[in-house]
Structures are given as C-alpha cells and as structure tokens.
Amino acid sequence: MSSAVLDPRRELLLSLLHRALEAVDGRHVTARALRARALGSDACGYWVAAIGKAAARMALGAHEVLGAAIARTLIITKEGHVDREALALPALTLCESSHPLPDARSLAAGESLIGFFRELPPTAQPLFLISGGASSLVEALVPGADLAELQALNRAGLASGIDITELNARRARLSRLKGGRLAQQLLGRAGLALFISDVPGDDPAVIGSGLLGPPPAAAAAGDRIERVVVASIDTAVEAVRAVAGRLALADSAARFSGSAAVLGAAFARQLIDGPSGLLVRGGESVVVLPVVPGRGGRNQHLALAAAQHLMGHEDCFLLAAGTDGTDGPTADAGALVDGGSWARIAASGVDPRACLAGADSARALEAAGDLLHTGPTGTNVGDLVLGTRLSMSEARAWLNTSPFAAHPNASEPRHAPARHR
C-alpha cells in the first residue's frame, strides 16, 4: 500500500467512494423498494430470479424482507461475486458466469433461466432483480447464431468504444431472451422487476440488453410486469453530494460520456482552473483500443489521462472507479491519482505516454501506487469520478467536522475500505 494513502485528500475521496457504494448496495436498495411496496413475509409463493453483477446482494435484500415467502431463488452472476451469506439461501440455484465476454457458462445460465420460467407454478409470484452485466452473463441464442458470433460481437463492441445502447441493441438481435423477449414468456402474468441501472437514461429496455424490458410493441399489450429502477449512478452522486455539503461543486448533476482520455483531461482542467472544492460526476466513458491493447480499463485510462494534466498541481486529486469493483478486464476498480502521479510513473522507468497510447494504463498506475482495489461491491451503477482541490489542512478539517461518523444509509457493514495497490 502506498504511503500516499495517508494524505487526507486521498482519505476524503476514499471515504466518499465508500458512501456512494453504500447508497447503491444491492441488498439495501432492494429491501427498501420491497418495504415501500408493503411486501413482506406474510405473502406466499415468490419465485426470485436475480441476474447481474449485483444479483447476490439483491437476492439477499429480497430474502431480508420476504423471508419464508420465497419458494425458490435463481442467482446468475459473475464468478466471484457471491456473498457467503447468499450461498446459504434456501432453495437456491446458483449460476456463476462470465463477464465481460460471454462463454459456455452464459449459455448454460440461459437454459437455467428458461427452465425457471418453464417451471413457474401458476400461483407463484415472480420477482425479478436485474443489474448490469446481464448482457454477458446469461444468453440463449436465436437459431443460426453461435457462441463464436456472440463473442465476436462483444469483443468488437468493447474494442471500438461503441455506445452501450447500440451495443445492447446488437446483442438483442442474436438473443431469445433480450430485447423484451423474455418478458413475453410470462404470457400476461403479473410480476415485479427491480433494476439497478448502469446505462444512460436508466431505461429497463436497455439495462442488461433489455433482459426484463418491455416486449416489442406488437406484443406489449399483454405485458403486466411492473418495472422499477431502484438505484442508478445519480443515487451514488447524490449520496456523495449529501455528505460533502458545501464542498460539492455546482455541476455535479450532469452525467458524463465519451472518450476517457478527453474526459480525464477535462476533469483535470476543471479541478485546476475552478474553485476549490469537490468534483462529483457519474457516467461511463469509452476507450477505443489498439490492435494489441495493454492492461487496464476505462477508469484507469481516464485517471492516467487526468494525471498528465494534473502534473505539478500538488493540491489536486482525482479518483475514477467502476462501482462494481472492476474496471474492464481487470480486478481493480480504477485509480486515484494526484499532481505527482505522472512523475512517479516516469521515475519508476515506465513511460506514461506510451502506456496511455497503448491502453496500458494499469501498468503505469501500478508503478505510481495509484491503482484502486475494492473487490466486488454488490452493485453496478456505472462509473464514478471524484476530484478535489484542497490543501491538506482543509481536507483534514473537513474529515474531522463532516458527518462521516453517522451515515443514514446504514444496512449492515458491507464494504471493506478501498485500498491502493
């Protein structure tokens, strides 16, 4: 662990990230939504299908509220994203699958999901818990399509930086589940679908490539699924703003999108040229990969680009992280850089410019001690960027006087502190 983590400005940003993750924790937001609908353990016959990176936590939230009223639970999630507590749920079928690229496990999970629908008793009440990652984790292909074609589509989409809405639309064309086709299998039965959104616009027709989105227009008349988005990146941003109070700069409501390198430079300039305080933004960036990319993800790429522009500004710090705890095909959530990061990389013998050009940001950030590791977080609402320009004394004073010690979104402690690697 880098000694730089002791800097109070780093401590401030890590504490705020922790608060954001608590606010969008899958268990917390699912339980809250079910209680708001006065659903409880006195009901009977719920069949719960939880799909996505936050599936295990969302399933725990449903069991927290509905208890013995749940007759069966299906969890389809990314390998390694299952709580020990979730493994002990009664009548559980667990499918650990692949992300960001689908593989044979994704097709097996698709068959399990189809079987769940096929076996749904007439008196059962279906409850669907959907979060980001479902596009890769579960699939059943249309006749004539195969796994190689699906993988090629996903690789091309990830490498080209295509808009997630367009990529999900292309995925749906190969699918017997996506684009509202799964909802058609309910044949007009009522159901409830809760969504943790990681897409622009928070549209259930796009989340998870429309896995539980409305059916195509021609079949939508008989659709009786109630769809509710229970958390999004806005939830995380507002949680940070609420605890940051007067530190938060004014433009935090706007979501970001576009090139990670361009955004990193823009956020750095905003910190350098704007008033002192806290930058809070949520969204999703893209990186167009070279033919042979290095190691890293879009948040690491954004952070490295920001580090180049922050060079020499010792009072500026910027954190970029995936709220699911992973950044692209890496095990790190992102990075936390400062005005000395670029120089630390160069002093290690690594060329930061070459790493930026070669999409090899993880190598550079590891050399600086700036990679950020959280482990799986139990949520997935997109990416969060937090930045600050404060003196050490200002940050320390804020940590000592802010309401960090009493947080209103308190389910049981969940998230280990983020750490540098």
Given a cut of 80, whether residue 37 has pLDDT beyond it is yes
Question: Is 218 contained in some domain?
Answer: yes
Q: What is the pLDDT of residues 360-380, one digit of tens each?
A: 999 999 999 999 999 999 999
Pair 281, 384 in one domain: yes
What is the spatial distance between Cα 385 and Cα 329, in angstroms, rounded to a whole number?
19
Q: Output the domain CATH number for residue 266.
A: 3.40.1480.10
Pair 51, 151 in one domain: yes
Pair 192, 290 in one domain: no
Question: Is 135 contained in some domain?
Answer: yes
Pair 187, 304 in one domain: no
What is the spatial distance between Cα 64 and Cα 342, in angstroms, rounded to a whole number?
46
Pair 205, 222 in one domain: yes
What is the spatial distance between Cα 97 and Cα 86, in angstroms, rounded to a whole number?
16
Question: Is 412 contained in some domain?
Answer: no
Pair 203, 306 in one domain: no
404: left (phi over 0), alpha (psi -120 to 50) or beta: alpha
Question: Is 406 contained in some domain?
Answer: no
CA atoms within 13 A on the CB side of 399: 18
Alpha helices of 75-143 — where are they, by DSSP H? 84-87, 104-118, 134-137
C-alpha angle 17-19-23 in degrees, rounded to nearest 5: 115
Question: Is 414 contained in some domain?
Answer: no
Q: Three-class SS of residue 219?
A: helix
Pair 206, 141 in one domain: yes
Q: What is the pLDDT of residues 144-189, one digit of tens each?
A: 999 999 899 888 887 777 777 777 778 888 899 998 888 888 888 8
* 402 vs 17, residue with greater confidence: 17
Looking at residue 405, what is its pLDDT? 46
Please give the backbone phi and psi of residue 126, each rounded to the nearest 5 degrees, phi first: -75, 135
Question: Is 389 contained in some domain?
Answer: yes
In this prediction, residue 71 has a pLDDT band, given cuts at 50, 70 and 90, of very high
Pair 140, 208 in one domain: yes
Pair 116, 192 in one domain: yes
Looking at residue 247, what is its pLDDT? 82
Pair 238, 136 in one domain: no
Domain closes at, from 172, 203, 231: 231
Number of domains in the chain: 2
Quickly list DSSP for 356-392: HHTT-HHHHHHHHT-EEE----S----EEEEEEE--H
Of 112, 127, 105, the C-alpha closest to 45 is 127
Pair 240, 177 in one domain: no
Q: Output the domain CATH number for residue 128.
A: 3.40.50.10180
Pair 306, 330 in one domain: yes
Looking at residue 4, what is its pLDDT? 44
